[in-house]
């Protein structure tokens, strides 16, 4: 199977969203979950950017393996689940010359899978390929590749 970059999962985590007095969402939920994932990567000696709010709906950060940058976005999904999208950033000329791009992609996705799988707060972990996920017909697998 091709590398699957979308993972859905359940998380045992409090709702950390913030609303104003009139019920308008100010800060989306998921920052705590994103912090846990990022901290686990850092604990594995992976260089990560700071966490930033992604528009009105989620959280994002980058991490780097073998000089390749991964872009991760976490957002609420359906039925209490979360969606984490983890893809390589556009690398420009490196895509042409970097022969280990596929290996690096697999390494990064497997690392995210390990982080989610080894933390008891996360369950029902299912990986999806982007094209299938966007069509709504994705059958998730238990591994990213």
Highest mean pLDDT among 84-98, 105-119, 122-136: 105-119
Mean pLDDT, to the nearest integer, of 107-126? 95
CA separation for the pair 48, 63 (Å, rounded) = 4
Mean pLDDT, to the nearest integer, of 4-15? 93
CA separation for the pair 144, 140 (Å, rounded) = 9
Mean pLDDT, to the nearest integer, of 77-91? 88
Between residues 67 and 50, the one the model is more confident about: 50
Would you give the DSSP letter of residue 3?
A: -
Question: Which domain range does residue 80 map to?
Answer: 6-135
Q: Is the pLDDT of residue 67 over 70?
A: yes
**Strand stretches in the chain, DSSP E:** 6-11, 18-19, 25-27, 47-48, 52-54, 58-65, 68-76, 82-88, 122-128
Mean pLDDT, to the nearest integer, of 55-80? 93
Domain-embedded: residue 109: yes
Give the DSSP H or E segment for 61. strand 58-65
Q: What is the CATH number of the domain that holds 38?
A: 3.30.310.80
As a dihedral over the C-alpha atoms of residue 77, residue 101, residue 45, residue 123, rounded to 10 degrees, the angle is 30
* Predicted pLDDT at 143: 74
Question: Percentage of residues in the chain with pLDDT exceeding 70?
Answer: 86
- What is the number of domains present in the chain? 1
Domain-embedded: residue 24: yes
- pLDDT band of residue 96 (cuts 50, 70, 90) is very low
């Amino acid at each position: 199977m091709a590398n699957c970059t979308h993972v859905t999962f359940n998380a045992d985590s409090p709702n950390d969203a913030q609303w104003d007095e009139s019920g308008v969402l100010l800060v989306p939920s998921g920052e705590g979950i994103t912090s846990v994932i990022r901290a686990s990567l850092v604990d594995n000696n992976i260089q990560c950017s700071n966490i930033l709010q992604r528009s009105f709906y989620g959280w994002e950060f980058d991490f780097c393996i073998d000089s390749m940058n991964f872009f991760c976005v976490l957002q609420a999904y359906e039925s209490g689940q979360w969606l984490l999208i983890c893809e390589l950033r556009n690398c420009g000329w490196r895509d042409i010359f970097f022969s280990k791009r596929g290996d690096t992609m697999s390494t990064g996705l497997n690392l995210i899978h390990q982080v989610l799988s080894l933390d008891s707060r996360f369950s029902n972990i299912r990986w999806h390929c982007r094209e299938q996920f966007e069509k709504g017909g994705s059958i998730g697998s238990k591994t990213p590749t």
